[in-house]
Copies of this chain bind each other. A is one copy, B any other.
Amino acid sequence: MSKVLVIGAGGVSSVAVHKMAMNADIFSHITLASRTKSKCDAIAQSVKSRFGVDIDTAAIDADDVTATTALIQKVQPELVVNLALPYQDLSIMDACLAAGVDYLDTANYEPRDEAKFEYKWQWAYQDRFKDAGLMALLGSGFDPGVTSVFTTYIKKHLLDSIETLDILDCNGGDTGLPFATNFNPEINLREVTANSRHWENGQWVEGPALSHKQTFDFEGVGPKNMYLMYHEELESLAKFYPEIKRIRFWMTFGDSYLKHLEVLENIGMTSIEPMQFQGREIIPIEFLKALLPEPASLGPITKGKTNIGVIATGLKDGVKKTVYVNNICDHEEAYAETGNQAVSYTTGVPAMIGAALMVTGQWKGDGVFNMEQLDPDPFMDMLNKHGLPWKVQDLDAPLDF
């Protein structure tokens, strides 16, 4: 029976809060806070009408450490679940330290003015959390998050050693709209337009964005083009599994999505540099965000499935073996349950699970933790029980590209 404070009121937060309310035996009291209190109230109303559970709401500017500390001290939660923008991770960690409360997030810190995802800023909090006897769990979403848990599970149960690891993220969802991003367009476009980077033989190998393409036949979706990309779990996987020779991340994009992206880049619409327009500064990507549909508006119109998993090749009892662990999630079923489609659902459920493991003491420790450092079994068990069932398949051969 635990009190939690959730910060942020987007799709991921909405899913996490709905799933927490469905597990009132674990989460006895939920407070939801964000910059715009009306967004929290809308989520609270949905939770009340679906599950009859009351949650508290509050307004908070998570960039403001003093205000966030005061809110934590007032709410007195056992855990702060940060589902706000990744720009705000550090200020919320500071507030947790000041208030003496554990911390969890789903995406690592990124500075506003450069498109860079690195753990260094958050890993720098290691000693402070350790000295305070507090736990910070980083990246408890799907990717990062479940993909690292899958890997840890493979290492614990399926393979004695891992040689190569490929993470495959497929969103087969279709909104029927010519162009829309599944989550915050600004974050989405920053990620997709970044250089590709993968880990090979102890070092990072970089390439131009979207230059390396393969086709893969995803169960529940069909054959899709997927592209080599940098994604943040590569950094923690490379750190915690130094024996893996090659770690790659692949994400699917349709030709139409890429066509739109190419044109928007060509004309300068994805730029984060301010430009002069009619006497004031405008940041093109912010204007683009205003033109595109709100990600939240896509929930009711998205059909199809996501399929995210990990393919690992290594040795088992001296024999080379390839295993594939993945989850398939249906957009319409996710929307029916929580009012949010599968991209939010697959991130929000693992946030709830990570929080549950922390507040029940199944995952505990002092300091800053990545998902790879913790026992995968209770997490894998909860995925099956809470809407993200997974399965293991043996593949005949490693990925041959």
**Are B267 and A292 in contact (CB-based, < 8 A)?**
yes
Task: Report the bound CA distance from A277 to B291 in whole Å.
Answer: 9
Which stretch from A6-14, A34-42, A281-289, A338-346 is at the chain B interface? Answer: A281-289
Closest to A266 in B: B178
A266 to chain B: which residues have CB within 8 Å?
178-179, 260
Name the B residues within 8 Å of A260 (CB-CB): 263, 266-267
Contacts of A115 in B (CB 8 A): none
Residues in A269-313 with C-beta less than 8 Å from chain B: 269, 275, 277-278, 282, 284, 286-288, 290-292
Q: Which of A275, A277, A291 has the most CB of B within 10 A?
A: A291
* Contact across chains for A287 and B292 when beta carbons are under 8 A apart: no
- The answer, yes or no, to whether A48 is at the interface (CB within 8 Å) is no
| Size class of the A contact interface (CB-based, 8 Å) | 20 to 34
Q: A58 interface residue, CB < 8 Å from B?
A: no
Name the residue on B nearest A284 (C-beta). B291
Would you call A268 an interface residue if the criterion is a C-beta within 8 Å of the partner chain's C-beta atoms?
Answer: yes
A282 to B282, CA, bound (A): 11
CA distance A178 to B263 in the complex (A): 8
Contact A290 B263 (CB under 8 A): no
* B291 adjacent to A267 (CB under 8 Å): yes
Shortest distance between the CB of A290 and any CB in chain B (Å): 5
Interface code A155-197, partner B: CB below 8 Å = 1, 0 otherwise? 0000000000000000000000011000000000000000000
Pair B291/A268 contact, Cβ less than 8 Å = yes
> Is there a chain B Cβ closer than 8 Å to A380's Cβ?
no
Residues of chain B lying within 8 A (CB to CB) of residue A275: 290-291
A284: chain B residues at CB < 8 Å are 291
Closest-CB distance, A178 to chain B (whole angstroms): 4
Taking the complex as formed, is A259 at the interface, i.e. its CB lies under 8 A from any CB of chain B?
Answer: yes
Known: A260-B267, A277-B287; 15 extra A-B contacts, CB below 8 A, are A178-B263, A178-B266, A179-B266, A179-B267, A259-B259, A260-B263, A263-B264, A264-B267, A267-B288, A267-B292, A269-B291, A275-B291, A277-B282, A282-B282, A287-B287
